[in-house]
Structure 1
Amino acid sequence: MSVKGYSLNYSVIGFAVLTALASRVVYAAQDEAEPDYGIVTDVQIERIIVTGRSFNDYKVGVASGAMRGDIDLMDTPQSVAVIPDFVTDEQLATNLSEVLVNDSSVTGGSEKWNRQVFNIRGFELSSGSGFLINGQQQWSHYVQPIETLQQVEVLKGPSSMLYGQSGPGGLINMVTKKPTYDPLFELGFDTDEHGSTRFQLDAGGSLNEAQTLRYRTVLVKQDNEYWREYFAGNGQDASSQERDRWLGYLNLEFDMSDDLMLSLKYDHTQDKTGIDRGGWLNSAGEVIGGNDIIWDMPWAFTDNTISNLGAELTYHISSDWKVKTGYNYQQFNRQRLDSSPSLVRGSEDPFVDGYTISAFDRYDDWQHKTGFIDFTGQFDTFGLEHQLLIGANMLNYYYGVQRESGQRGQLVMPDQPVAKPDLDYHRASLSESDYKHYGFYLQDLMTINEQWKLLAGVRYDEQKKEGDGANSYAVSPKFGLIYAPTANGNIYLNYSKSFVPQGSVSNDFDVNDGMNLDPEYGEQYELGTKWELFDGSLLLTAAVFDIKVTNVTVTEDLDIMTPAGDDVITTQSGEQHHRGFEFGAQGQVSDKWFLTGSMMYLDAEYIRPAKDSLNGKTPVDAPEWSANIWTRFEMTDDLAFNFGALYVGERFANTSNEITKDAYVRFDIGAAYSMDIMGTDVSLRLNVQNLFDTDYLAGGTNTDVTVGEGRNFGLALQAKF
């Protein structure tokens, strides 16, 4: 069976590994049969690199970001979830939010301004420090393209020991598709009931006969029609939000010698869309005006242009030691013409009292320059086996912005046309900021015996921001202990710390706009277990965690607007304490049944001075319970069915915990059929999301909540040549 995803045959990787192992047996037999005449010959170091113990398409054995190397998940004393592209292709996922629903420790936040916010274990991920691409930090203030990804890794808990500035909840590491030795050429098309379309090309192979020069390229053209509509009363015919996206990706690998490989990567994204900041909730947690109304003006838009240019060089010093170094330059430019709508203070009825807009035109220029060098090796001392990592990484960050604002708080009545304002960011002065971040780290995974492993690591960080004295320093240790009572299971314990520099408040509507903030520091204790069942084809995991963060940064709504028009205030004080437990299952249950699923219980609260209004409150979008499951059952070699369910518990929509969003369950189903058409492998897929047309609210606050879509259909066609 050759259509991607519905084969029960052995994988190409597994066949290649078995072939390589068999060849070594043959060579060994030849060596034993041939006499030694004392002739000295050059010895080439032969390496077999296994990038994962993959038994099936649902289960992945390695998360490269968890330990900055290809160390088995069973040897990683940390909770990690790996979501392979096979699963998200089945789900017809088009963005990172639809990928991350496969791990219940991740909950979505606001999706306004064509970006996506996420929380891990209840802590919000920062756009600047919460996302990695192949282990390097990315500025993720936009909807990340997923068509270039091989897998998404959710690294849970603090990872500052390896990556420096990163949040206490964890990190998202996105691993890109690699070049292939053999020819690969796939064409894909998908659409939905609203008329959205996406065309994809994925191609790879060797560019020379020796296969020392290889490539992988991905091209995507997407046009989205969304289900929500701009309010027709503003002098406009009702129209939906639209999105136009183009993506190009190229990765080249060049074997410069048997021991030296150069990898070059470039991707470019152009993404323009109208703005939908989300719905407004009244005090009862109900959507004001209906689920399908967009209050932003139809002329508002955001236009993102993102380019990444990177290189990696890997040198195998010997069979036990290697050095890897890399550099990435990210250029992210955005123009945003925004109407910035909001309810009239004290009103919950915009049809009677109207609402306000505060239009502005701005241009943002973000530049991220990242680099790293890692030395990794294996050696024995005093009866201990060591897997050592010594490395350093850096980040050079620049940000420039130009902004021209129109009338602030302009009152708009629902039946009043609002013309596009005469605003041009070019007329505004340029405001700039930058900082440099350096880190040095050492990690050692020690094998004491067959049952015990010990992990110890430490990191030193410096972040320097010229001019305002907002410099930060941190030492981040990490310890882990693994006990394996059997060959297929273990119990682990870890301790780790997080370090998140905060910079300064940047919000024109904030009382403390421009104020420098202290870093947030967090620490976690985690006790977990991992088991491989059914001859290793099913991975079960469980973990209990306890995380505390100090110098917590909180932005609150003001009861009364200040004379200057400020309506929020950002402060730092007290702690944030999150504790809970989680379970996960991923892999093959029987010859025809595959599943991936997880659940999490979370107890999250602010710990503030006794008279502080936030003391004992729960952060926004931190549900007590959440769970998910996605399964595939193969009826025949050509026909497969899918079933999925997503549960998100009740959540608070504001920091004062006065407005709640109800719990919900969403059911999804799908079916795929594969066929051979004139020698071409073709697969057809039909998915139904939200099968029972459930009304629900996803992430976001009471002023920018994402309203869940009702029952919707998706259709996809893929051809593999």
Structure 2
Amino acid sequence: MGALHVAAMLAFAASHSAYAQSDSAGNATNAAATSVGATSDSSADKALPVVKVTAAQDSLQHLNTDVNSGALGTRTQLDTPFSTTVVTSEELQDMQPQKLGDVFARDASVSDNGNPYSAWATYLSVRGMQLDWQNGFKIDGLPFNSYGITMPYEQLERVELLKGLSGFMYGFGAPGGVVNYVTKQPPRSDTPVRSVDIGYRNDGVWSEHADLGGRIGPNSMFGYRFNATHEEGQTYNDGNIRRDAFSLALDARITRDLTATFGALYQDQHASGQGGSISTAQYVGTSLPTTVSGSTDNLGNASQHLNTNLQLYTAGLHYNLTPDWTASLTYSFSKSFRDRNESTFFLQDASGDYTDYRFAGKEGHRLSLWQAMVEGNVKTGPFQHQLVFGAAWQKQVNEYEATSAYELIGTGNIYSPNNNTFYSPEGLTTYRAGDITQKALFASDTIQLTERWSVLGGVRYTNYEQNGYTLAGATSSHYSQSGVLTPSVALMFKLAPTTTLYTSYVESLEAGSIVDFTYANAGQMLKPLRSKQYEVGVKTEQTRWSASAALFRIERGAEYPNSANFYVQDGESIFEGVEAGADVRLGAGWTVGGDLMWLHTKYERGSSFDGNRVAGAPGFVAAGHVTYNVPYVPGLKVGADAKFTGNTTVRPAGDLKAGGYTLFNVGATYATKIGGYGVTFRAALDNITNKRYWEYQYADYISPGDPRTVSLNARIDF
């Protein structure tokens, strides 16, 4: 609570006397970048504002910009009582991320649980809770299944992270939060978008990317944006990657008030030679073996692979009913597929010996969504209302291996090459293993009580049905319930137009897990879980600095593997913590930012592990960054950032921990003109000390952290 109190006092002192000033005074923009090479362009200015400051330039500029917040409707993030982090397109280009953990490297609330080029590349923990790969990821606010899918970051306008419970806004979802990938859209003006770039990453991965957009037709009626990427080469652990990705966004301004949209995204990726997963389920020691480098090829060989395919198609209509009311209708269909051959190394002792179990199989997922929504403003007596009404239908179909292989293929040691080979047999097939259907109605009302006080109330009414099936098509499990209510309420107080205090309460429902193949009850579909979240926060954006803090408590049903190697639901997991962050511009060239999270977790009301720390939740994380615009070389910016992650319990029993570690990254960007064209050169060096560390990956699982990585990119705009 101390961090929250300090931030609130700072915000009050800075802004209380300015409350009577116009909003424009609080919207002053920041011309200096807070990330290496960040610039202020039209696309960045339209980026989703940030509720929680996490060392990103947008946190100083866009808190007062309107944004569509799902079932909450359109509002500024300054007026939204939840924590959010946004990473813009410019920042993505500067970071040159290989996986989702790289995207949020400057956010202390986010812990990286993944490795590039593997099925784990999108695994994250937010506030100590891993995101739900079934429901925790969206593309343009629309659902898809993320397991094994690494997005084409170069084709995104931004990546948004809503922290905490999202049940009211999106339906089913784990309480860690929701990641929303926002694709590049047609330009709003007649100025075309044209760029190509080429990139390199050690030890030999090359990429080429093109971005083309514009408007055509009478009165620029039709807009388009097309992106294409090819990536191929040898990865740092002697594996190989080949990726082709394409995205297309179209819009048509049919009338002044009616707009139609269409979107498509296709990506096909093949990775081979990637390392297997390391399980501690059979490990009897109380400390982990000595770390190995993330660049080691000891954990992989040519017989292991991950092939994935993602397809997403969307269509929508948006109509302005009146100046104060709008209506929209949206449809989306997504399809993801993976073919994997992956080892699980069951650690046996501190010397690094393991037994090698290999899985080979195919899996797929399909998601369909229809959603209709109306939003607008009305006034009743002295009160102003922002209203949202909507209805949604969503169906998720999971297809798992009808024929597969999972067997012991040998033994080995993590410090020696793995010579155990097992190639996928021919004829592997899938079957419809389960489906989840959600039918929902939702409504919200934000009431402006006075100039400073407002209250928010919302509720989602859901009927759901969750089925599991046998190979023969018979129902093996069934859960259904009608009239499930997931409410959200909040009270907000304006210290000033640029400063908001809030308190909020949210409930959420998440789909039951499908048990992984390494557990004794593999394939079982567990029942849905309900979670609750309480949060108190403050956020402020001033001309030269911004800050935020939040105090939260989350109660969630606990899931973990028990001593018999069954993955079960038992009792509750409690997460209590504080987040705080700030960014400040110092002079004309310097930007400094910091972010921290303190977290206390425990298991309660279960048959095992009561009082133990929740596995996968670090107790303390701190991040910081600095950026400098070099005055002697116009267009050159350099920067550095660092992140400390405290020790993390690997197993619910609390008898094994992954040690804390600190990572340092540096980067530079140089923007100039050559032959009249804008040219930008970027370089990023991650983990500059080549730190070796164990990273918590999943319940009972660890992996070696990523090694030192060099990424280069050159882009031309024409």
TM-score if structure 2 supplies the norm length? 0.85
For 2:684, the aligned partner's letter is N
Matched, 1:439 2:440: yes
Question: Residue in 2 aligned with 1:491?
Answer: 501
Matched, 1:578 2:569: no
Quote the Cα distance in structure 2 between the aligned partners of 1:209 and 1:323: 25
Question: Residue in 2 aligned with 1:655?
Answer: 652
Question: Residue in 2 aligned with 1:144?
Answer: 151
TM-aligned CA deviation for residue 289 of structure 1:
6.5
Which has the larger strand fraction?
Answer: 2
Structure 1's 685 and 480: CA in aligned 2 closer, same or farther, altered over 3 A? same
TM-aligned CA deviation for residue 623 of structure 1:
0.7
Question: Residue in 2 aligned with 1:34?
Answer: none
TM-aligned CA deviation for residue 487 of structure 1:
2.4
Question: Residue in 2 aligned with 1:454?
Answer: 455
TM-aligned CA deviation for residue 704 of structure 1:
4.1
Work out the percentage of aligned pairs sharing the same amino acid: 21
Matched, 1:554 2:532: no
Quote the Cα distance in structure 2 between the aligned partners of 1:167 and 1:702: 16
Matched, 1:631 2:634: no
Quote the Cα distance in structure 2 between the aligned partners of 1:117 and 1:155: 16
Quote the Cα distance in structure 2 between the aligned partners of 1:687 and 1:516: 42
8 Å contact from structure 2 (residues 276, 342) kept in 1? no
Structure 1's 166 and 663: CA in aligned 2 closer, same or farther, altered over 3 A? same
Structure 1's 717 and 99: CA in aligned 2 closer, same or farther, altered over 3 A? same
Deviations 1:577-626 (A, max 9, x none): 100110123574543333554211110111134xx441112222211111
Matched, 1:195 2:201: no
TM-aligned CA deviation for residue 83 of structure 1:
2.0
Quote the Cα distance in structure 2 between the aligned partners of 1:499 and 1:547: 13
**What secondary structure does 1:445 align onto?**
strand
Q: 1:179 aligns with which of 178, 186, 202?
A: 186
Quote the Cα distance in structure 1 between the aligned partners of 2:673 and 2:418: 57
TM-aligned CA deviation for residue 571 of structure 1:
1.8
8 Å contact from structure 1 (residues 403, 425) kept in 2? no
Quote the Cα distance in structure 1 between the aligned partners of 2:535 and 2:502: 8
Map 1:466-615 → 2, pairs under 5 A = 467=475, 468-473=477-482, 474-502=484-512, 505-513=514-522, 515-534=524-543, 538-550=545-557, 552-556=558-562, 558=564, 568-586=565-583, 588-609=585-606, 612-615=607-610
Deviations 1:139-190 (A, max 9, x none): 1112222222222222122121121111122221222221113111111122
Structure 1's 596 and 252: CA in aligned 2 closer, same or farther, altered over 3 A? farther
8 Å contact from structure 2 (residues 99, 122) kept in 1? no
Quote the Cα distance in structure 2 between the aligned partners of 1:514 and 1:666: 37
Quote the Cα distance in structure 1 between the aligned partners of 2:613 and 2:673: 54
**Which segment is superposed worse, 435-444 or 85-94?**
85-94
**Which segment is superposed worse, 692-701 or 92-101?**
692-701
Unpaired runs of at least 5, structure 2? 1-30, 468-474
TM-aligned CA deviation for residue 374 of structure 1:
1.1
Deviations 1:444-471 (A, max 9, x none): 1111122111100111112113544311
TM-score if structure 1 supplies the norm length? 0.84
8 Å contact from structure 2 (residues 71, 390) kept in 1? no
**What secondary structure does 2:151 align onto?**
coil
Structure 1's 5 and 360: CA in aligned 2 closer, same or farther, altered over 3 A? closer
8 Å contact from structure 1 (residues 399, 434) kept in 2? yes
Structure 1's 624 and 294: CA in aligned 2 closer, same or farther, altered over 3 A? same
Question: Residue in 1 aligned with 2:12?
Answer: none
Question: Residue in 1 aligned with 2:239?
Answer: 241
Quote the Cα distance in structure 2 between the aligned partners of 1:707 and 1:85: 29
Quote the Cα distance in structure 2 between the aligned partners of 1:429 and 1:101: 36
Question: Residue in 2 aligned with 1:304?
Answer: 308
Quote the Cα distance in structure 2 between the aligned partners of 1:183 and 1:255: 17
Matched, 1:223 2:232: yes
**What secondary structure does 1:375 align onto?**
strand
Structure 1's 119 and 571: CA in aligned 2 closer, same or farther, altered over 3 A? same
8 Å contact from structure 1 (residues 314, 322) kept in 2? yes
TM-aligned CA deviation for residue 134 of structure 1:
1.8
8 Å contact from structure 1 (residues 103, 598) kept in 2? yes
Quote the Cα distance in structure 1 between the aligned partners of 2:510 and 2:651: 23
**What secondary structure does 1:692 align onto?**
coil
8 Å contact from structure 1 (residues 361, 425) kept in 2? no
TM-aligned CA deviation for residue 331 of structure 1:
1.2
Count of residue correspondences: 656
Question: Residue in 2 aligned with 1:286?
Answer: 289
Quote the Cα distance in structure 1 between the aligned partners of 2:199 and 2:71: 36
Quote the Cα distance in structure 1 between the aligned partners of 2:75 and 2:99: 28
Quote the Cα distance in structure 2 between the aligned partners of 1:379 and 1:298: 63
Question: Residue in 1 aligned with 2:466?
Answer: 465
Quote the Cα distance in structure 2 between the aligned partners of 1:154 and 1:106: 10
TM-aligned CA deviation for residue 488 of structure 1:
2.1
8 Å contact from structure 2 (residues 375, 387) kept in 1? yes
Deviations 1:68-113 (A, max 9, x none): 5441111111222222222222222233221122322111224453
Q: Which has the larger radius of gyration?
A: 1
Structure 1's 525 and 420: CA in aligned 2 closer, same or farther, altered over 3 A? closer
8 Å contact from structure 1 (residues 65, 134) kept in 2? no
TM-aligned CA deviation for residue 328 of structure 1:
0.9
8 Å contact from structure 1 (residues 5, 57) kept in 2? no
Matched, 1:342 2:341: no
Q: 2:169 aligns with which of 162, 166, 171?
A: 162
**Which segment is superposed worse, 365-374 or 217-226?**
217-226
> RMSD of aligned C-alpha atoms?
3.0
8 Å contact from structure 1 (residues 58, 596) kept in 2? no
Deviations 1:98-139 (A, max 9, x none): 112232211122445354211211112111111122222221
8 Å contact from structure 2 (residues 278, 346) kept in 1? no
Quote the Cα distance in structure 2 between the aligned partners of 1:634 and 1:173: 31
Matched, 1:393 2:403: no
Quote the Cα distance in structure 1 between the aligned partners of 2:159 and 2:38: 24
Structure 1's 695 and 702: CA in aligned 2 closer, same or farther, altered over 3 A? farther
TM-aligned CA deviation for residue 542 of structure 1:
0.6
Matched, 1:133 2:133: no
**Which segment is superposed worse, 400-409 or 213-222?**
400-409
Quote the Cα distance in structure 2 between the aligned partners of 1:543 and 1:242: 43
**What secondary structure does 1:573 align onto?**
strand
8 Å contact from structure 1 (residues 58, 87) kept in 2? no
**What secondary structure does 1:162 align onto?**
helix
Structure 1's 396 and 302: CA in aligned 2 closer, same or farther, altered over 3 A? same
Structure 1's 510 and 13: CA in aligned 2 closer, same or farther, altered over 3 A? closer
Quote the Cα distance in structure 2 between the aligned partners of 1:661 and 1:104: 17
TM-aligned CA deviation for residue 192 of structure 1:
2.5
8 Å contact from structure 2 (residues 609, 652) kept in 1? yes
Structure 1's 333 and 10: CA in aligned 2 closer, same or farther, altered over 3 A? closer
Quote the Cα distance in structure 1 between the aligned partners of 2:290 and 2:297: 9
8 Å contact from structure 2 (residues 603, 612) kept in 1? yes
For 1:520, the aligned partner's letter is L
Quote the Cα distance in structure 2 between the aligned partners of 1:475 and 1:592: 50
Map 1:43-58 → 2, pairs under 5 A = none
Structure 1's 14 and 368: CA in aligned 2 closer, same or farther, altered over 3 A? closer
**Which segment is superposed worse, 490-499 or 93-102?**
93-102
Unpaired runs of at least 5, structure 1? 16-48, 229-239, 559-567
Quote the Cα distance in structure 2 between the aligned partners of 1:159 and 1:420: 41
For 2:262, the aligned partner's letter is L
8 Å contact from structure 1 (residues 406, 421) kept in 2? no
